[in-house]
Amino acid sequence: MPDSLALLIEHWKADPHSTYNSWFLWEERLKNFRSIRRGIGQVVRDIEAGTFGNAYRGSTLETVVESVAEQRQIFKGADHAFMWKPKLRIPDIYENIENQRAFGRLLHACDCCDTAPAVIEAIQRIDALQIKGLGPAVANLLYFIHPTLVMPFNTAIVKGYNALTGSNVKLGRWDHYLSLREGAIRLNAQYRTLLSNDLGALAGLLFEIGAGRYQAPPRTPAAGELQAWEEDLAKVRAETAALTKQWAAESESDTTHTQIQGWLRDLGKALGFDVWIASNDRSRPLGDGKLGDGCLTELPLSSIGGAESVRLIDVIWLERGSERVHAAFEVEHSTSIYSGIVRMLDLALGTTVGAGSTLFLVAPDSRRDDVQQQLRRPAFSRVAELGIRYLPYSQLQHHREAVARFGSGLKPMLELSQLLQ
């Protein structure tokens, strides 16, 4: 008995007016991928720099979304989901700066990763924030970053998918989108020789079924189809619940890490040093401001070896108005101690640090043995020469105020810390 869906796909591909021929095989399509991805990168940079603004009109996002909406009929209306609707306050990424940053992190994470699990986790992270009006329409941007991993999403595609598979996917919900993606990937694999590794081909077919241009093949009612979709949805929700717990722990860890950096920042300034905060942490919120408030905006070290690594050191104290480093601190709350030591080595071996400078690994009291074990690794044979010291959280927490009021130079920090080699 012939496969009715296979026959439909073949008929669709032979139709000169189908999305397969008018868009998927369009010569300009690949050029559009490159330009849209570059535009998404600019959106991320604008958000990170605080220059994105608080309106859709005139933003770099408008330029990118308009480029997507111009991708022939399948993406017509893609800009509607991103247009600012002030009465409804959706999507809430223009006037809510934290939501805007979360949106930027989603785009950046997907732009930097290259695996399906990483893309799905980035989507689940944004879903956990429940940002009003920011739903699966974002997948139309992510598709142009990862066309083999992300399924385009709009009303017609959802209608086509439901008609073809007997599912009950709803618009506006990320968990339903992810369940659609699971089923679409299976469907695409089943008809891979007729479709493409690029999910845009299948999306085009579903779009035309959902728009009524093609009819879905007659289906024999079967509980298995709906059950498969329900299982996909249950799987997505279970994964999201587990990850939400993990992210809560990570968020607590990030908060503690930032708090410790803040203590070191304030202590360094009280002792008369210029303070550098890791370039990727400066914009973190702390109290009523940001972690980088009152700190150096440029790291004044000339001829740095491993410059990018050095700029990621959590906190550096420098002699005021000078390049001389007096102390550098890596805070290792729960992350790899190894990476912190590597950054310390880049600083020590790539610059003229100065004879009086000291390098500190700051970690919870419970991680003392972990710090000692890492410092003794054969790969770090130079560590003993550098005298990297361990500064427990408890010592910093209990004595920082007294050191700020009565301390001078690095002597109090040496008394609070210890050598573990």
279 and 199 within one domain = no
Same domain? For 66 and 117 the reply is: yes
Is the pLDDT at 276 greater than 80? The verdict is: yes
On average, the pLDDT of the chain sits at 85
Q: Would you say residue 200 lies in a domain?
A: yes
Q: Which amino acid is at 226?
A: L
Is the pLDDT at 241 greater than 80? The verdict is no
Which of 219, 243, 267 is the endpoint of a domain?
219
Whether residues 147 and 262 share a domain: the answer is: no
Q: What is the mean pLDDT of residues 273-282?
A: 89
Cis, peptide link before residue 91, omega less than 30° from 0: yes
Strand extents, DSSP E, 281-397 = 285-286, 289-290, 315-318, 325-331, 358-363, 389-392
Q: pLDDT tens, 14-38?
A: 988 889 988 999 877 877 888 899 9
How much is the pLDDT for 191?
Answer: 94
Kindly state the tokens that stand for 90. 């959706």
Q: What count of other Cβ atoms lies within 10 Å of the Cβ of residue 82?
A: 25
What is the extent of the structural domain holding 298?
251-419
pLDDT band at 169 (very low <50, low <70, confident <90, very high): very high
Per residue in 202-213, pLDDT (tens digit) is: 999 999 899 988
DSSP for residue 421: -
Q: What is the pTM of this model?
A: 0.60
Q: Are strands 289-290 and 315-318 parallel, antiparallel or unpaired?
A: unpaired
* Residues 131, 94: Cα–Cα separation, whole Å: 11
Q: Tokens in use for 295?
A: 């700190």
Q: Do 280 and 351 belong to one domain?
A: yes
234 assigned to some structural domain:
no
Same structural domain, 350 and 391:
yes
Are 309 and 413 contained in the same domain? Answer: yes
Radius of gyration of the chain (CA): 27
Q: Tens digits of per-residue pLDDT, 351-404?
A: 554 445 788 989 888 888 888 887 777 656 666 677 788 998 889 988 999 999
Q: Are residues 132 and 215 in the same domain?
A: yes
Are residues 100 and 147 located together in one domain of the fold?
A: yes
Confidence of residue 343 (pLDDT cuts 50, 70, 90): confident
Q: How confident is the model at residue 1 (pLDDT cuts 50, 70, 90)?
A: very low
Co-location of 61 and 127 in the same domain: yes
What pLDDT is attached to residue 219? 67
On whether residue 243 sits in a domain, the answer given is no
Q: Residues 90-140: pLDDT tens digits?
A: 999 999 998 999 999 999 999 988 899 999 999 999 998 899 999 999 999
Residues 382 and 284 placed together within one structural domain of the fold? yes
pLDDT of residue 332: 85
List, for residues 285-328, the tens digit of each pLDDT value: 888 889 999 999 888 865 555 566 788 889 999 989 888 888 99
31 lies in the same domain as 164: yes
Evaluate whether residue 242 is within a structural domain. Answer: no
- Type of residue numbered 54: N
Residue 36 included in any domain: yes
Domain-ending residue, one of 219, 235, 260: 219
Assess if residue 98 is contained within a domain: yes
User: What DSSP string describes 40-85?
Assistant: HHHHHHHHHHT-S-S-STTSHHHHHHHHHHTSTGGGTTTTGGGS-B
Tally of domains in the chain: 2
Task: Please identify, among 199, 219, 239, the residue that sits at the C-terminal boundary of a domain.
Answer: 219
Whether 269 and 385 map to the same domain: the answer is yes
**237: in domain:** no
